Structure 1
Amino acid sequence: MTSPTPPAEPAYADRTFRSGAGLVTGALLILLVGWIGGDAVVQGKGNVPWMALAALLTVIPLIVAFTLRPAVFADDERIRIRNPFRTVVLPWTAVSGLRASYSSELFTEDGKKYQLWAVPVSLRERKRAARKATREAHDDPYGRTSVHADVRDTQARAAFADRTVADLRELSERARSRPGASATRASVRWAYEVIAPAAVGAVLLAVLLAIG
Structure 2
Amino acid sequence: MTSPEQSSTPQEQYADRSYRSPAALVGGVLLLALAAWLGGDALVRGTAHTKLTAVAGLLFVVPLVVAFTLRPLVRAGADRLLVRNPFRTITLPWAAVADLRASFSSEVFTADGTKYQLWSIPVSLRQRKKANRQAQRAAAGRPVRGGRDAHLGPGTEAGVPRATADRSLDELRELQERGAAREGAQGAPVVKWAYEILVPCVVGAVALAVLVAL
- Please classify the TM superposition score into its range, dividing by the shorter chain length: 0.7 to 0.9
Name the CA shift for 1:156/1:115 in 2 (closer, same or farther; >3 Å): farther
Indicate the structure (1 or 2) with the bigger Cα radius of gyration.
1
The answer to whether residue 195 in structure 2 is matched with residue 192 in structure 1 is yes
TM-score, with length taken from structure 1: 0.83
Aligned-pair identity in percent equals: 52
Is the CA contact 1:93–1:181 (under 8 Å) kept in the aligned structure 2? no
Give the CA deviation at 1:103. Answer: 0.4
- 1:42-57 matched pairs, under 5 angstroms: 42-57=44-59
- Mean CA deviation greater in 63-72 or 180-189: 180-189
The one-letter code of the counterpart of 1:157 is: P
Uncovered stretches (5+) of structure 2, i.e. residues with no partner: 1-10, 147-154
158, 163, 183: which is aligned to 2:162? Answer: 158
- 1:66-81 matched pairs, under 5 angstroms: 66-81=68-83
Name the CA shift for 1:153/1:30 in 2 (closer, same or farther; >3 Å): farther
197, 201, 205: which is aligned to 1:202? Answer: 205
Give the CA deviation at 1:136. Answer: 4.2
Distance 2:99 2:68 in 1: 24
Quote the residue 1:145 is aligned against. Answer: none
Deviations 1:115-154, CA, capped at 9 Å, x for gaps? 0011111111211222233334423699xxxxxxxx8345
Distance 1:139 1:10 in 2: 34
The one-letter code of the counterpart of 1:115 is: Q
Name the CA shift for 1:24/1:10 in 2 (closer, same or farther; >3 Å): closer
The answer to whether residue 211 in structure 2 is matched with residue 175 in structure 1 is no
Is the CA contact 1:57–1:201 (under 8 Å) kept in the aligned structure 2? yes
Is the CA contact 2:138–2:160 (under 8 Å) kept in the aligned structure 1? no
Give the CA deviation at 1:35. Answer: 0.9
The one-letter code of the counterpart of 1:158 is: R
Quote the residue 2:7 is aligned against. Answer: none
Distance 1:179 1:163 in 2: 24
Distance 1:155 1:102 in 2: 25
Name the CA shift for 1:50/1:141 in 2 (closer, same or farther; >3 Å): closer
RMSD between aligned residues? 2.5
The one-letter code of the counterpart of 2:190 is: S
Across the two proteins, how many residue pairs are aligned to each other?
196
